Amino acid sequence: MLRGEITDAIRQAVMQELAAVGYGRLSIEAVARRAGVGKTAIYRRWSSKLEMVLEIVSRVAGQSLPLPDTGTLQGDLEILLRIVARALRHPLASQIIPDLLAEAARNPRIAQTLQESLRVNQRDVGNQVIGRAVDRGELPPGTDPDAAVDLIVGPIYWRLAVARTPLPDDHLPRMAASVASALGAGPPTGPGRSAAADGAATLPTPR
Amino acid sequence: MLRGEITDAIRQAVMQELAAVGYGRLSIEAVARRAGVGKTAIYRRWSSKLEMVLEIVSRVAGQSLPLPDTGTLQGDLEILLRIVARALRHPLASQIIPDLLAEAARNPRIAQTLQESLRVNQRDVGNQVIGRAVDRGELPPGTDPDAAVDLIVGPIYWRLAVARTPLPDDHLPRMAASVASALGAGPPTGPGRSAAADGAATLPTPR
DNA sequence: GTACGTCGGGACGCAACCGTACCGTCGTCG
DNA sequence: CGACGACGGTACGGTTGCGTCCCGACGTAC
């Protein structure tokens, strides 16, 4: 009964409006205006601004992405960084993602939805890359996946979404190499260290 | 003539309101309400919401922080991470910082003010730590300070401000070790590098 | 004691938006 | 061809905020 083209127009308008003014100032009327649609059409589909945004965003964020196995930690990282970089360079995403993350710190519903949408793509991808590297012997078995995700995604996110400094394409391999090194030396977790890089052991580590 | 206690109360209220609802939804009336103050008192001090927030935030963000020289890259990093972690754990800061960063992507005035306020503390601190490490021979001379900042601040920021996963105190040294390793192996920057940091020379990065 | 200026508070006109209701139109299904 | 339902548009009452103005109450400096 509801015409799909209208729904699509609304979805698109919500994303644009979200990027333009943020969730805090997003108004139904502005969305309707931008979509060339009556408010009625929106309220016929969603019950409130929050429900609308959650449904639309989670649909976009929930898309699964293919992650090829390159056979090398370095190669996997490079592809991973490239994917994240492309996403964060998207003009809409680069505005919407930080905005929703900030809003999530304040609104449990948003936080929960984002986390659920991203869990599949984030946690699984992280575990997958780390797991494969461990199997290959490139990383020690005790490697903490959570800490690994911090080291992988943190730098690229900071660069593109926080500092917003342009990142030349040829820097991605360097960053991948740095991250790979960080992962190798990183978590001297528990006993039974493997043979792989343990440069950290030579550094005096207080507490 | 303007009573300082009133100004302080307003400043405090702005920070709390900023944390509670974000910049987008911050209203002068709510600030006045929270501060127990008339709107008049606010408009007597600042001309608009934007000017008010910019002045108050830049005053807080502009505080210089002491950065002791521990004599080791690992030690410097650990202290640095500890400082950043403490800041990001602050209940007000942890809400306000991501919010303003998201808003900065949208409002040039905010972006400029934040950048100016943080330039002293961020760029200088980064350059200082890296420079000292290079002098000690812990890092290769060509190390790119910008890339280094990404690697240092990115993971801790992601962990605390984005993923908002609790970070046990004893993880900081491990993270510092990882970051140190990343910095060391990181920039295999081109051939025949000169001594002083000239990362810009190899980068097609205008300005 | 008088004059000044800030104080909180209230009221102003204006604007935007909420969520709902009611139009007349138009496409589609039966 | 007729009924149905979604469509864009408009209007509604109510709320919130803006930025300004005015008021009486203090407190202080002179």
* In a domain? residue B193: no
Question: Is there a single domain that holds both residue A94 and residue A30?
Answer: no
Question: Is there a single domain that holds both residue A10 and residue A81?
Answer: no
Tally the C-alpha atoms within 13 A of residue B160's C-alpha that lie toward its C-beta: 26
Question: Is there a single domain that holds both residue B99 and residue B75?
Answer: yes
Residue with tokens 């309101």: B17
* In a domain? residue B146: yes
> What tens digit of pLDDT does each residue of B57-102 get?
999 988 877 787 999 999 999 999 999 999 999 999 999 999 999 9
**CB within 7 A of strand D: which residues qualify?**
A 1-3, 6-7, 36-41, 44; B 26-30, 39-40, 43, 48-49
Indicate the SS3 state at residue B170: coil
Residue B101: per-residue pLDDT: 95
Residue A186: per-residue pLDDT: 53
* In a domain? residue A207: no
Residue with tokens 């948003």: A110
CA atoms of B22 and B111, how far apart (whole Å)? 16
Question: Is there a single domain that holds both residue A177 and residue A75?
Answer: yes
Question: Is there a single domain that holds both residue A111 and residue A179?
Answer: yes
Range with the lowest mean pLDDT among A150-154, A189-193, B103-107, B150-154? A189-193
Question: Is there a single domain that holds both residue A69 and residue A42?
Answer: no
* In a domain? residue B200: no
- A151 → chain B, closest CA residue: B155
Whether pLDDT at B150 is above 50: yes
Q: Between the CA of residue A18 and those of A103, A166, B17, what are the distances in Å?
A: 12, 23, 22
* In a domain? residue B100: yes
Question: Is there a single domain that holds both residue A106 and residue A41?
Answer: no
Q: Which residue has the higher pLDDT, B168 or A193?
A: B168
Tell me which residue of A6, A43, A45 sits closest to A28, measured CA to CA. Answer: A43
A101 CB neighbours in chain B (<8 A) are 98, 102, 162
Indicate the SS3 state at residue B198: coil
Residue A143: give its domain's CATH number. Answer: 1.10.357.10
Chosen domain end from B13, B41, B57: B57
Range of the domain at B182: 62-188
Question: Is there a single domain that holds both residue B92 and residue B35?
Answer: no
How many domains does chain A fold into?
2
> What kind and span of H or E run contains B84?
helix B73-89
ipTM of the complex: 0.86
Question: Is there a single domain that holds both residue B90 and residue B172?
Answer: yes
Contacts of B54 (CB under 8 A, 6+ apart): B109, B110, B113
| Residue-by-residue pLDDT tens, chain A, 207 positions | 888 899 999 999 999 999 999 999 999 999 999 999 999 999 999 999 999 999 999 998 888 777 879 999 999 999 999 999 999 999 999 999 999 999 999 999 999 999 888 877 777 788 889 999 999 999 999 899 889 999 999 999 999 999 999 999 899 999 999 999 999 875 444 343 343 434 333 333 343
| CB-CB under 8 Å, A165 with B177 | no
Question: Is there a single domain that holds both residue B140 and residue B172?
Answer: yes
- B106 → chain A, closest CA residue: A20
Question: Is there a single domain that holds both residue A74 and residue A105?
Answer: yes
